[in-house]
Amino acid sequence: MQDLFSSLGLTPDLTQGGTLAVRSPIDGAEIARIAETPVSDMPAIIARSQTAFRAWREVPAPRRGELVRLLGEELRAAKAELGALVTLEAGKITSEGLGEVQEMIDICDFAVGLSRQLYGLTIASERPGHRMMETWHPMGPCAVISAFNFPVAVWSWNTALALVCGNPVIWKPSEKTPLTAMASMKIMERALARFGDAPEGLVQLVIGGPAVGEALVGSKDVPIVSATGSTRMGRIVGPKVAERFGRSILELGGNNAMIVAPSADLDMAVRAIVFSAVGTAGQRCTSLRRLIVHHSIRKDLVAKLAAAYASLPIGDPRKEGTLIGPLVDAASRDRMLSALEQAKAEGGTVHGGAAVEGVAGGAYVQPAIADMSGQSAIVKEETFAPILYVMGYETLEEAIALQNDVPQGLSSCIFTLNLREAETFLSAVGSDCGIANVNIGPSGAEIGGAFGGEKDTGGGRESGSDAWKGYMRRQTNTVNYSAQLPLAQGVKFDI
Ligand code: UN1
């Protein structure tokens, strides 16, 4: 472990002697003690970010992209080590730890191209000799508040975009995963050193609890707050940022569903269901939590699923072949077990879901299937664990209504070979989520699309498409190159 730490630049002075204990979900053992950022340091940290902003906004965007290109190179070089640290600190299986770093590399590549494509519109003016256009400008410091389940990728989606858009970043990672954040900063520092003349304080890391986050959320000098986590957290952060007319980008809870129609390719559906419901031990915000199956195939599909679930290798995420690693901690396992009790009390039949040994000291569980007679209260909640609630439907209209009848609106999908059904699902009367897929599960989105969701998911968009606009301010410009001063709307005001 010390070798892994030192290969990522995490020297003992950084990982020992602090006040924040870091535990590996693999066996619950303490692996580091990290120094926390004193809340009293926050004003100076924000001021440094503001100073960096004044310099960085003047650097041409393609040159800013060069820094992100170098970050992508450094991430490629450190992929194996950082992936292994994600596994150690967040408990993800090896290929998902590596996949997370790959997402970081992908967003860097995307943002490098974007740095030459921060396009504004030209607009036809109603006045002769006038030209209208839109220009996109940097906004200022961007706070990134991230969660344990994607401890580094979420930072990179925000940071790669924020940097090319001309904004400095202050990152507050989850208290559960400060090591991967510190390692990512070391990688960033290597990119900054190669870049040469980036302003000091362009990318900063702060470690701590809610008080550190609140300093960012409450500061007028932090115009953008991108926060990933629970809806409960978003309900606190959103209004606080809005109160000072800041901009928030919220990525909150999901309660993602799959509709399986009679024409679906069931073998493919089973593979998609298993990956999205039990992958990452059900701890993605995009994890599949609700299966809405046509009555005619329900029994068959549940039997196929039960067979697939029976053979899933659960245990040490570092071991080759393991598909389900630990939950993040014992509290998370307790929440899963109590959700299953509630499902039973609400008339559900639960298959699986027991705590299993795995590695001593870790919180390992069998994934659960809860056969429900309807969409009861517990089904409408997001439990961050591998529980799949199964419900039946008769008409597509009914299935879509069930799919949409939850507070969250992140990701969704339909398995069907029927074109009418697929297109209806994607239409205005279909899924109400930010992400809607056909013949693909709800998780594992590529970085090229905008990522985020509606309703209690918070409405934010990150990553690809034009999500970059959330990190810039739009300026409408009208230029008069005539010798007259015509007023808009034909108003006469002669003096
Ligand atoms: C999250 O769980 O916070 O779509 C994000 C996915 C990943 C991102 C998940 N690309 O599953």
Find out whether 404 and 428 touch, Cβ atoms under 8 Å: no
> Which SS3 state, helix, strand or coil, does residue 164 take?
helix
- Residue 445 CA to ligand 1 center (angstroms) comes to 6
pLDDT per residue, tens digit, the chain (495 aa), is: 899 999 999 999 999 999 999 999 999 999 999 999 999 999 999 999 999 999 999 999 999 999 999 999 999 999 999 999 999 999 999 999 999 999 999 999 999 999 999 999 999 999 999 999 999 999 999 999 999 999 999 999 999 999 999 999 999 999 999 999 999 999 999 999 999 999 999 999 999 999 999 999 999 999 999 999 999 999 999 999 999 999 999 999 999 999 999 999 999 999 999 999 999 999 999 999 999 999 999 999 999 999 999 989 999 999 999 999 999 999 999 999 999 999 999 999 999 999 999 999 999 999 999 999 999 999 999 999 999 999 999 999 999 999 999 999 999 999 999 999 999 999 999 999 999 999 999 999 999 999 999 999 999 999 999 999 999 999 999 999 999 999 999 999 999
Nearest to 415 by CA among 406, 428, 403, 429: 403
Q: In CATH, what number does 1-252+458-476 get? A: 3.40.605.10
CA distance 150 to 97: 9
Task: Sort residue 482 into left (φ over 0), alpha (ψ -120 to 50) or beta.
Answer: beta
Q: Which two tokens stand for residue 232?
A: 């409960």
CA distance 316 to 323: 9
> Which SS3 state, helix, strand or coil, does residue 411 take?
strand
Ligand 1 atom 7 nearest Cα: 444
Pairing verdict, β 142-145 and 130-138: unpaired
Spell out which residues line ligand 1, taking CB within 6 angstroms. Answer: 103, 149-150, 228, 284-286, 443-445
CA distance 99 to 455: 28
Q: In CATH, what number does 256-438 get? A: 3.40.309.10
CA distance 249 to 434: 14
Q: Which H or E run contains 102?
A: helix 94-114
* Residue of 103, 150, 233 with the most ligand 1 atoms within 8 Å of its CB, for mutation: 150
Q: What is the pLDDT of residue 422?
A: 98
- Residue 134 CA to ligand 1 center (angstroms) comes to 32
Find out whether 23 and 174 touch, Cβ atoms under 8 Å: no
363 to 214, 326, 329: CA distances (angstroms): 30, 5, 6
- Residue 240 CA to ligand 1 center (angstroms) comes to 25
Q: What is the pLDDT of residue 455?
A: 98
Amino acid at 423: E
Predicted complex: ipTM over 0.90: yes
From the number of C-beta atoms within 10 Å of its C-beta (0-12, 13-18, 19+), residue 120 rates as middle
Q: What is the pLDDT of residue 310?
A: 93
How many alpha carbons fall within 13 Å on the CB side of residue 280? 23
Q: Which H or E run contains 365?
A: strand 364-365
Amino acid at 109: D
Task: Sort residue 39 into left (φ over 0), alpha (ψ -120 to 50) or beta.
Answer: alpha
Domain ranges (residues) in the chain: 1-252+458-476, 256-438
Q: Which H or E run contains 95?
A: helix 94-114
* Residue of 176, 251, 284 with the most ligand 1 atoms within 8 Å of its CB, for mutation: 284
The pTM assigned to this predicted structure is: 0.97
pLDDT tens-digit profile of 123-156? 999 999 999 999 999 999 999 999 999 999 999 9
Do 256-438 and 1-252+458-476 have the same topology in CATH?
A: no
Q: Which residues of 164-182 are buried (b: 16+ CB within 10 A; e: fewer)?
A: bbbbbbbbbbbbbbbbbbb
Q: What is the pLDDT of residue 376?
A: 98
Ligand 1 atom 3 nearest Cα: 285
Amino acid at 290: R
- Residue 443 CA to ligand 1 center (angstroms) comes to 6
CA distance 372 to 387: 12
Q: Which two tokens stand for residue 63?
A: 């040159």
Catalytic residue numbers read: 251
Nearest to 461 by CA among 477, 476, 473, 447: 447
Nearest to 98 by CA among 180, 219, 200, 3: 180
